[in-house]
Structure 1
């Protein structure tokens, strides 16, 4: 390994090649540190189950945190059930509280793979949380997929205002429990997240992709002054 190198130079964001990762580890690459964070966390998001298993067997603590969350949390939030199962099999704790008080296991109950982990007694979603999850599934299904390039979207349902949001960007360490759930359910789906945030319940994507029901000319105003 070259002087000053951590052994991970050139790996990029694709961590699916188990033979390559094993070669780097055997050559001196550290399993605990990578220039972009923790190798196990990166593999949980962008790696294969084989790579996850290789790294999980070499780290000191499979539940070590990076940016406040475990690799298992990252796998669940990224909708990588095979990686999440591999981490749990390696000893990661699905029921360890994380952002907003949610554990990876309990958050997963609201997602597409609710049966991923054995559920201990007392661990379940509330009725309100189940309703949020059901609406997220309905809304993302109804809106479908379409090209977002150049899209400007204003979601208006009442007097709620929000700015500097990161719709579809995933949970943040400062989010409330409700925000963590919604960010997880709508991760990667900015339009559906924005509709849910504003309380809109469209039945299809026509309000985004058209054709419009009406055209409204906005009054002239100093919009920049509005945000000062």
Structure 2
């Protein structure tokens, strides 16, 4: 048969029922065949689908097979609520990353809840410094304006909220993409790192990383799981923060907010000057 079973098995392992996984296993030439450098078992572990994991293991899938920069299915399971028996262990740094994920996600409490927002997470820079770097003016914003802009952004396109948090600051716009624009991230990242993201309601989450004024990575997919990560640390970060895009950006930049006020009650509001911020 052709290779259709491979992609179908991998998809089912991550998203479908154990019954569908079992049916596809019966068609498989190799249950441990790799697709995008991972096996079907790895995908089931990553997606926290313990019933699918059990079906794959019963059919002979190898939990110890090395892949994804050292994250075998068994080792990855140690970063889930359904650990598999294994002699592999997590490092102190990896355990700390898991604890920080739990703390950070709880602190945000699901905020922001809707798509259409943008943010910039800047390491080592406070809100006042961000205001200066952007050559912006501080403005007063009312609750009524926020609600109006979330429906009709006209008049608020260049307005951002900014909040100092442990590790740096967060800039956000709940009604548009401005916080993630190249010109904003380039100015904010002078001498440091800035992670920007736009939660596009139509195209998914798109993220960029700027270091010292230049783009370092322009194809992040915050919260969308493990895609094309390049290191073991990147794999763990993407795994831990699937479905948590804002928390992913905060963690990537090393920010540790204690609550959700960066998105609900920012320290100050700023208005950017008239200029082209499409380019840094």
The TM-score by the shorter chain falls in which range?
0.7 to 0.9
Q: 1:118 aligns with which of 67, 79, 85?
A: 85
The answer for the alignment partner of 1:103 in structure 2 is 72
Matched-pair contact (CA < 8 Å) for 1:49–1:82: yes
- Is 1:33 aligned with 2:4? yes
Q: For 1:31 and 1:49, how far apart are their aligned partners in 2?
A: 23
Q: 2:236 aligns with which of 162, 181, 184?
A: 181
Q: Which residues of 2 match residues 68-107 of structure 1 at below 5 A?
A: 68-107=37-76
- Is 1:212 aligned with 2:266? yes
The answer for the alignment partner of 1:67 in structure 2 is 36
The answer for the alignment partner of 1:52 in structure 2 is 21
The answer for the alignment partner of 2:205 in structure 1 is none
- Is 1:138 aligned with 2:103? yes
Structure 1 residue 174: Cα displacement = 4.2
Instruction: Give the unaligned 5+ runs of structure 1.
Output: 1-29
Matched-pair contact (CA < 8 Å) for 1:40–1:52: yes
Q: For 1:160 and 1:42, how far apart are their aligned partners in 2?
A: 35
The answer for the alignment partner of 2:122 in structure 1 is 156
Q: For 1:141 and 1:84, how far apart are their aligned partners in 2?
A: 27
After superposition, the CA RMSD in angstroms is 1.9
Structure 1 residue 32: Cα displacement = 4.5
- Relative to structure 2, which stretch is displaced further, 64-73 or 167-176? 167-176
**Larger % of strand: which?**
2
TM-score by length of 2: 0.63
The answer for the alignment partner of 2:204 in structure 1 is none
**1:60-116 deviation digits (Å, cap 9, x = unpaired):** 2110112221101111111212111221121111111111221111011012222xx
- Which consecutive aligned stretches of 4+ in structure 1 deviate over 4 angstroms post-superposition? none
Q: For 2:262 and 2:61, how far apart are their aligned partners in 1?
A: 43
Structure 1 residue 221: Cα displacement = 4.6
- Is 1:193 aligned with 2:226? no
Q: 1:172 aligns with which of 215, 224, 227?
A: 227
| SS of the residue 1:66 aligns to | coil
Matched-pair contact (CA < 8 Å) for 2:226–2:239: yes
- Across the two proteins, how many residue pairs are aligned to each other? 190
TM-score by length of 1: 0.76
| SS of the residue 2:220 aligns to | coil
Q: For 1:179 and 1:75, how far apart are their aligned partners in 2?
A: 19
The answer for the alignment partner of 2:279 in structure 1 is 225
Structure 1 residue 203: Cα displacement = 1.8
| SS of the residue 2:122 aligns to | coil
Q: For 1:112 and 1:184, how far apart are their aligned partners in 2?
A: 13
Higher relative contact order (CA 8 A, sep 6+): 2
